[in-house]
Amino acid sequence: MSRTVIPIGPFHPLLEEAEYFRLTVDGETVTDVDLDIGYMHRGHEFISERKTFTQSIYLVERICGICSTSHPLACVHALEDVGGIEIPPRAAYIRTMVGELERIHSHLLWLGLAGHFIGYDTLWMWAWRYREPVLELFEAVSGNRNHYGMMRVGGVARDVSPDVIPRFLKILDEIEVKMEMVAKAAADDPVLRSRLKGVGVLSREAAVDYCAVGPTARASGVATDVRKDEPNDAYGLVDFKSIVLPNGDVYDKLVVRVLETFESVKIVRQCLEKLRTTPGPIRNDVKEIPAGEGIGRYEAPRGEVFHYIRTDGSNRPVRHKVRAPSYMNIPTCAASCKGIALADALITLAAVDPCYCCTERAVDIVDRRHKPLKLDLLELSRRKTELLRREIHG
């Protein structure tokens, strides 16, 4: 049996981040996937143990440029778990609002990238265009389009002025209308359906075995959602649905994210309405964190972010464990990529929404005779979509 190993990464001018995928293919079929990580390891846990708790919140905010609410929120949840600290209701609504706005912009970002990978550049441009107003909302709330610096132990750093709420609601209405248009266009498109349906299936059993989280698990029928399982902040006070679909393919992962975006808009709207009628402080004064241990988690756009903090009564953690959702989701590629066509590998790897999903643009293939070949996975993926389009539309 001929066996070809395709190394992707770890360093390439086209890669935005360093990682290394090793695809083993038999002809056009992927038979195995192996991956190495660690090229981006920055020792956050080590550094955090040398920072005060407040500094740690800023530090973990810089782990990821897209999840810059999720990590600080999980971190403050862990510290609040250690000290049994309550937060004011107004702070809870602000936290939830910021978290859900982040989910909207992250899912739109992924939707755009997924469109780009399969040759739907219009979808990419639409999705990123409609993501822009969300970043403007962030700027209005926190002063920053990213790295918001909103989370504090016992509450949040900044209030939301009542004057901006009508404008926020108007922008949300606009985003929802545009999202409905994109969702309808995507759902009605026969090419998109045939391109993504049944591709890169992650079975329910594999999702459980790999301990997958977030949309990756929910698209495989595993009902895990921290917002429902442990409703922190205002999640117990707002009405929303956790989207769970049964098939585990890339199409279901896309649908889960699109439907979650609508749910997030619904949550943000409820939070804004509540902020109009819920006066009060935005932060409880926390003097010290007692000795103990605590677990904090939050449902980031990619799944559960987990922080464990051990304290000794000083103002620094003894141990600060951080686990991002991609850490659990990326290994599932080994199950979902097995047996698929090489042209589907790109979108299947990207379907878990790894933090480095722009990876697979250029690869070097070395066949058994060590003869180097040049092949562009992105081009391969887009060519397949084009062939399907011609087949369906003539």
Partner 1 sequence: MAEKEKFLKEMGAKVGKIIDRPGRLYFEVANDDLRDVARYLFRTQGCRLSTATALETYHGLEVIYHFSHDATGQYFCPRVVLTDKANPRMNSLAPMIKGAEWIEREMAELLGIVFEGHPRPEPLLTKEHPRGLRQPLRLRRTP
Site string for partner 1, 36-75 (x = CB under 8 A): xxxx-x-x-xx-----------------------------
**376 forms part of the interface with partner 1 (CB under 8 A):** no
Nearest CA to 254 out of 359, 182, 329 is that of: 182
Helices (H), 197-352: 204-209, 214-218, 226-229, 250-277, 325-329, 333-336, 342-351
* Number of shown-chain residues binding partner 1 (CB under 8 A): 35
Tell me which stretch binds partner 1 (CB under 8 A): 116-124, 175-183, 221-229, 259-267. 221-229
Nearest to 357 by CA among 302, 277, 292: 302
145 binds partner 1 (CB under 8 A): no
* Options 61, 80, 81, 260; binder of partner 1; rule CB under 8 A: 81
Residue 173: CB minimum distance to partner 1, A: 33
- Region from 103-111, 141-149, 206-214, 382-390 binding partner 1, contact rule CB under 8 A: 206-214
Q: Does 168 bind partner 1 (CB under 8 A)?
A: no
Cα–Cα–Cα angle for 150, 155, 161, rounded to 5 degrees: 65
- Name the minimum Å distance from CB 38 to partner 1: 4
Candidates 47, 135, 157, 211; binder of partner 1 (CB under 8 A) is 211
CB of 72 to partner 1, least distance (A): 18
The stretch near partner 1 (CB under 8 A) out of 104-112, 256-264, 302-310, 366-374 is: 302-310
- Asked whether position 224 contacts partner 1 by CB under 8 A, the answer is yes
For 251-285, letters b (16+ CB in 10 Å) and e give bbbbbbbbbbbbbbbbbbbbbbebbeebeeebbee
Distances (CA, A) of 376 to 6, 35, 145, 191, 343: 12, 19, 33, 22, 10
Q: Which of 126, 210, 240, 262 binds partner 1 (CB under 8 A)?
A: 210
Q: Which of 1, 113, 2, 115 is nearest to 365 (CA)?
A: 2
The yes or no reply on residue 293 touching partner 1 (CB under 8 A) is yes
CA neighbor of 141 nearest in space, from 166, 165, 107, 169: 165
Rounded Cα gap, residues 345 and 349, in angstroms: 6
Residue pointed to by tokens 């402080």: 281
Structure tokens at 374: 């040049």
Please pick, from the candidates 159, 230, 273, 376, the single residue that binds partner 1 as defined by CB under 8 A: 230
Q: How far is the CB of 262 from partner 1 (least distance, A)?
A: 23
End-to-end Cα spacing for the chain: 37
Rounded to whole angstroms, how far apart are CA atoms 290 and 313? 5
> With respect to partner 1, which residue has the nearer C-beta, 42 or 197?
42
CB 105 within 8 A of CB 62: no
CA distance 39 to 20: 9
Q: How far apart are CA 112 and CA 122, in angstroms?
A: 9
- Interactions with partner 1, residue window 91-130 (CB under 8 A): none
The runs of H, that is alpha helices, within 190-280 are 190-196, 204-209, 214-218, 226-229, 250-277
Task: Return the HEC string of 41-62.
Answer: CCCHHHHHCCCCHHHHHHHHHC
Least Å distance, CB 155 to partner 1, is 20
- Between 212 and 267, CB nearer to partner 1: 212
Does residue 327 belong to the site contacting partner 1 (CB under 8 A)?
A: yes
Which of 145, 266, 310, 361: binder of partner 1 (CB under 8 A)?
Answer: 310
Q: Which of these segments, 139-147, 251-259, 277-285, 320-328, binds partner 1 (CB under 8 A)? A: 320-328
**In this chain, which stretch among 52-60, 141-149, 204-212, 379-387 interacts with partner 1, using CB under 8 A?**
204-212
- Residue 205 touching partner 1 (CB under 8 A): no
Tell whether residue 308 is a contact of partner 1 (CB under 8 A): yes
CB closer to partner 1 out of 304 and 360: 304
Chain residues binding partner 1 by CB under 8 A are 10, 36-39, 41, 43, 45-46, 81, 208-213, 223-224, 229-230, 293-295, 297, 304, 306, 308, 310, 318-319, 321, 323, 327-328, 331
